[in-house]
């Protein structure tokens, strides 16, 4: 990890001190909702049923997932240095008093995707068949944005059902698991490999998607802190750093939400009913435990919520280790216009 080259960062310490936290705006390259919508709208009923029963079928319920860059940015600010001689890539984060890990083990648990023994490509006779038949041949270059349009123009009702399934599986893998910028070329190797559908099904999609998201998350804030400080010296009005995340970012947010709801950060505590789709499609409220637990006092709820949404990154001076005091008042004063002052009152 490039960040660990700094001799000042010891194992168990966060890479960014609270005093160095800064506001960030993340653009996620993952198009989960739009890809799911396109697959549902374009495939015939029979083709869609085939997809539902296949390796990515459980993701079809993930229609209305709202990405929160604020949540992920504040997670990345809390990354903790760990031993580099570990056998596997992993990310460690400090949230409040909890230290938790995200590795291939947790990734596999959340996504339900495989990371076992890979297989060899069996059928070499189908090289470029799908590309030649449906996408203009081997000499045509196609970027991701162009493929979105091509997919929507395909006449699936006149297509062989298995070919339709293969194209949809490729589309999901390349646009969601391997999410990147629109100008990038599609993965023509995967488009060829999916024609041997049994081989494609046995690929290590859990491991492949984990490697991409790990690289993206681990390097996301590298040198961003110094860039923010330098830019702000030149422009006092610069108050937010923008950057991109690549890969299946939706899963990371679901993982964080589930840890928050459980109140526990051990792998054994994670319970994902029906894999992650109940969280992505909105059947499970992502803040259900922490924000609606009626037994939790207000002086605990509000500081935790402000920490969660990144309020203290903007008003660092308001962070305090002391417990909040709740004062009951009989009348609620109105704030003066333009003061930016606000308070919380109840009877």
pLDDT digits (tens, 9 = 90+) for 14-35: 888 888 888 888 999 999 999 9
Exposure pattern of 139-156 as b/e (b: 16+ CB <10 Å)?
eeebebebbbebbeebeb
pLDDT surpasses 70 at 207: yes
The residue-averaged pLDDT of 112-139 equals: 77
pTM above 0.85, yes or no: no
- 57 phi/psi in degrees, rounded to 5: -60, -35
C-alpha span between 101 and 266 (Å, rounded) = 8
Determine what percent of the chain is predicted with pLDDT higher than 70. Answer: 66
pLDDT digits (tens, 9 = 90+) for 273-311: 444 444 444 444 333 333 333 344 556 656 666 665 566
Q: Which band of pLDDT confidence, cut at 50, 70 and 90, is reported for residue 86? A: low
For CA atoms 168, 170, 173, 178, the dihedral sign is negative
C-alpha span between 217 and 78 (Å, rounded) = 12
- Nearest by Cα to 151 from 178, 131, 171: 171
Q: Domain residues of the chain, as ranges?
A: 2-280
HSE, side-chain direction, 13 A CA sphere, residue 280: 24
Across 120-134, 197-211, 318-332, the highest mean pLDDT is recorded for 197-211
Two tokens at 344? 């919380």
Across 15-24, 179-188, 252-261, the highest mean pLDDT is recorded for 179-188
C-alpha distances out from residue 82 to 13, 96, 133, 249, 255, Å: 8, 18, 49, 22, 20
**Which pLDDT score, from 0 to 100, does residue 283 have?**
40
**Which pLDDT score, from 0 to 100, does residue 272 have?**
43
C-alpha distances out from residue 281 to 31, 59, 94, 284, Å: 14, 9, 27, 8
């Amino acid at each position: 990890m490039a960040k660990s080259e700094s001799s000042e960062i010891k194992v168990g310490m966060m890479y960014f001190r609270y005093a160095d936290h800064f506001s960030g705006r993340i653009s996620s390259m993952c198009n989960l909702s739009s890809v799911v919508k396109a697959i549902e709208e374009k495939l015939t009923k029979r083709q869609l049923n085939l997809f539902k029963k296949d390796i990515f079928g459980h993701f079809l319920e993930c229609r209305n997932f709202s990405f929160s860059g604020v949540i992920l940015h504040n997670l990345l600010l809390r990354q903790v240095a760990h031993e580099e001689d570990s056998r596997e890539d992993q990310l460690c984060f400090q949230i409040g008093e909890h230290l938790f890990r995200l590795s291939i083990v947790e990734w596999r648990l959340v996504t339900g995707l495989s990371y076992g023994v890979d297989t060899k490509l069996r059928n070499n006779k189908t090289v470029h068949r799908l590309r030649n038949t449906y996408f203009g041949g081997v000499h045509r270059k196609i970027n991701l944005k162009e493929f979105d349009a091509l997919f929507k123009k395909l006449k699936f009702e006149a297509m062989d059902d298995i070919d339709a399934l293969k194209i949809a599986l490729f589309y999901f893998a390349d646009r969601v698991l391997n999410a990147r910028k629109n100008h990038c070329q599609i993965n023509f190797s995967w488009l060829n490999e999916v024609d041997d559908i049994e081989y494609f099904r046995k690929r290590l999609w859990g491991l492949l998607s984990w490697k991409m998201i790990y690289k993206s998350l681990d390097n996301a804030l590298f040198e961003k802190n110094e860039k923010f400080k330098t830019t702000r010296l030149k422009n006092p009005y610069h108050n937010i750093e923008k950057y991109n995340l690549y890969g299946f970012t939706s899963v990371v947010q679901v993982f964080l939400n589930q840890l928050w709801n459980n109140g526990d950060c051990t792998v054994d505590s994670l319970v994902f009913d029906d894999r992650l789709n109940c969280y992505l499609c909105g059947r499970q409220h992502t803040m259900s435990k922490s924000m609606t637990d009626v037994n939790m006092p207000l002086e605990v709820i509000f500081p935790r919520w402000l920490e969660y949404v990144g309020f203290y990154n903007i008003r660092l001076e308001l962070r305090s280790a002391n417990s909040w005091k709740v004062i009951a008042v009989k009348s609620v004063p109105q704030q003066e216009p333009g003061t930016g002052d606000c308070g919380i009152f109840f009877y």
